[in-house]
Amino acid sequence: MNGLQPVYRMETSVMDDAVQLLTNCMKDPARPTRCARVLCGCLHLLDGRDEDDSCSLDVHFHVPRHGEYEDIRKKYPQHLDACVAFLSLPRSDEEMKDLDSSLRTCTCSIQLSGPGETRWLLKWLHDSFEAYRLFTFEDVVQMLIRHLAGVLNNAVESKTVGGVTALPRLRKNRRKHTGLWPTDASQLMPYGLERSMQGYAVSFRLCRQDGFPDILLLFNKILAICGRSVIPHLLQFDSAWPMRITDLTIAFLQERRNTLGKFVDIDTELRWMEALALVLEFCANVTDLSQVNSTDLMLFKFVRMLTWVNTIREVRSCGLLFVCDCIIKDLPLFLIETKVWTQDHINQFTELFARFGSMFYADKPEEDQTVYSPEIVARYAAANVRLDDPLHLAFEGFAWASKLRQLRT
């Protein structure tokens, strides 16, 4: 076989073969057949990558916007149900250890291909796809997260989510696109809310910190579709989640500081912008005025941290208030020698993070002595004046949504 030429055009036959093979392998989410190489290779193709592209595990995060995601949602709902069932299945440490051992060991027989499996695809996956790499259970989980994040991002951005959703606006174009997966939010929780979120949390913990943007993108979409009821269960099974958002923010802000005075390509600048947009979207989701819940919101506002400041031990926040504050203070750095950023980007990001920061600042613990950015403090003071005006609060909600859309265009 001379290469995998059809993949570049992503012909229907190639997509069909990859979907059928992957779905067939994952019929039993507790014990998938074939090896990790086969599962990862199929996901590689379904995310629009060709034979010459690096595996997505080796590239920096960008919001996946493969042109075939809508077709996948329309034609292969069983494939997507299988992906969700695999990713959200609760597993013990022992079960994960056994599964990792099983997936690392290749016992595939190309000659004995089963139903829905084509020999040419199995041969390419074993002979040519990242031939010198050992794929693991963790790799499968990371690539599944990116795949589902891209699919659900397509559903949310195109407003074609069926059934009852947390945000009604997600069903705006439903009649034009009937039958697109997911047809109901319950499809994302195949084992019930609590057990499914336990499974997601276990899967999320497997991934490296540099894979967290994919996780945040996926969870943002789950949150938008399924609603705030998922948050307590996520934190029940993964209490470190707020710190992971903090670590993500610190990492890309530090990367910006480290590259000052050095050449930075456009791809990197866009990646920074997408990371900011992810954090912004999460803040928007957890503070949505239409479904605000002070109990689970408090779980994200603050993560107390004891630290020494001038020989005095103080309490500092490292939750979402800290995140908003750090971003606002460092935003001007993105204008230095930029090919992408404009003053308008900086102004809009500053306004939006100040808005969310002021909401978190309202419940700042008295012992937190951090000096927060003037933009947050001023916005908090102004909000207190208008606190009893529901029309103003509604206008604020429409305003941030409009600005968030502008930042993504």
For the stretch 88-108, pLDDT in tens is 999 999 999 999 999 999 888
Residue numbers of the domain that contains 251: 239-408
Q: Check whether residue 275 and residue 324 sit in a common domain.
A: yes
pLDDT at 11 exceeding the cut of 70? no
Q: Is residue 366 included in any domain, yes or no?
A: yes
Q: Check whether residue 205 and residue 277 sit in a common domain.
A: no
Number of structural domains (the chain) is 2
Q: Check whether residue 213 and residue 97 sit in a common domain.
A: yes
Q: Is residue 205 included in any domain, yes or no?
A: yes
Q: Is residue 110 included in any domain, yes or no?
A: yes
Q: Is residue 33 included in any domain, yes or no?
A: yes
Report how far residue 2's alpha carbon sits from residue 298's, in angstroms, rounded to the nearest whole number. 57
pLDDT at 351 exceeding the cut of 50? yes
pLDDT at 308 exceeding the cut of 50? no
Q: Check whether residue 205 and residue 262 sit in a common domain.
A: no
Q: Which of 196, 226, 256 is the last residue of a domain?
A: 226
Confidence of residue 300 (pLDDT cuts 50, 70, 90): low
pLDDT at 331 exceeding the cut of 60? yes
Poorest-confidence range of 66-80, 98-112, 256-270? Answer: 98-112
Which amino acid, 320?
Answer: L
Q: Check whether residue 173 and residue 297 sit in a common domain.
A: no
Determine the average pLDDT of the residues in 341-351: 94
pLDDT at 176 exceeding the cut of 70? no
Determine the average pLDDT of the residues in 73-81: 96
**pTM of the complete model:** 0.87
Q: Check whether residue 218 and residue 244 sit in a common domain.
A: no
Tell me the CA distances in angstroms from 349 to 6, 312, 360, 406, one per residue in order: 42, 34, 16, 11
Confidence of residue 343 (pLDDT cuts 50, 70, 90): very high
The per-residue pLDDT for range 205-245, each reduced to its tens digit, is: 999 888 999 999 999 999 989 988 898 899 889 888 888 89
Q: Check whether residue 251 and residue 220 sit in a common domain.
A: no
Q: Check whether residue 275 and residue 394 sit in a common domain.
A: yes
Q: Check whether residue 263 and residue 145 sit in a common domain.
A: no
Q: What would the DSSP string read from start to end of 293-330?
A: -HHHHHHHH--EEEEEETTEEEEEE-SHHHHHHHHHHH
Three-state DSSP at 179 gives: coil
Q: Check whether residue 81 and residue 180 sit in a common domain.
A: yes
CB atoms within 10 A of CB 241: 22
- Reduce the secondary structure of 91-148 to three states and give it as a string: CCHHHHHHHHHHHHCCCCCCCCCCCCCCHHHHHHHHHCCCCCCCCCHHHHHHHHHHHH
Q: Check whether residue 258 and residue 381 sit in a common domain.
A: yes
Q: Which residue has the tokens 């795949």?
A: 147
Report how far residue 76's alpha carbon sits from residue 66's, in angstroms, rounded to the nearest whole number. 15
Q: Which of 175, 193, 226 is the last residue of a domain?
A: 226
Report how far residue 401's alpha carbon sits from residue 358's, in angstroms, rounded to the nearest whole number. 17
Predicted pLDDT at 390: 46
Q: Check whether residue 217 and residue 101 sit in a common domain.
A: yes
Q: Which of 226, 261, 296 is the last residue of a domain?
A: 226
Q: Is residue 159 included in any domain, yes or no?
A: yes
Q: Is residue 5 included in any domain, yes or no?
A: no
Predicted pLDDT at 160: 84
Q: Is residue 75 included in any domain, yes or no?
A: yes
Q: Is residue 48 included in any domain, yes or no?
A: yes
pLDDT at 79 exceeding the cut of 80? yes
Determine the average pLDDT of the residues in 151-179: 70
